[in-house]
Amino acid sequence: MGRPLEVAVRASALSNDRYPVVVSADVGPDRLRSWRVPDKLVVYTQADIGPRDLDAVPVEDRHAANVIVRSPQDRSVFPR
């Protein structure tokens, strides 16, 4: 599946004006500190993004996931 940073790049490439995609800030700060390796990624979107879109593997147990896709009703997480 790849590291969270790689998945964040793939998710960001799916973003458009109608269905924006925002990734959690965990990946960005981890790039500034080379000793930190992000192990979780949260993707916020209104689009229907599935595991295949992110080259990811679905898991049964939420605690086993390192990538979580959320579709919040509150659109304030999306840039204008």
As beta bridge partners, residue 43 has 23, 69
- The model's confidence at residue 13, banded by pLDDT at 50, 70 and 90, is very high
Q: Say if residue 23's pLDDT is above 80.
A: yes
In whole angstroms, how far apart are CA 40 and each of 17, 18, 24, 60?
A: 26, 26, 9, 16
Phi-psi region of 2 (alpha: psi -120 to 50; beta: other; left: phi over 0): left
Mean pLDDT across the chain: 83
* pLDDT tens-digit readout, 28-55: 666 666 676 677 889 999 888 888 999 8
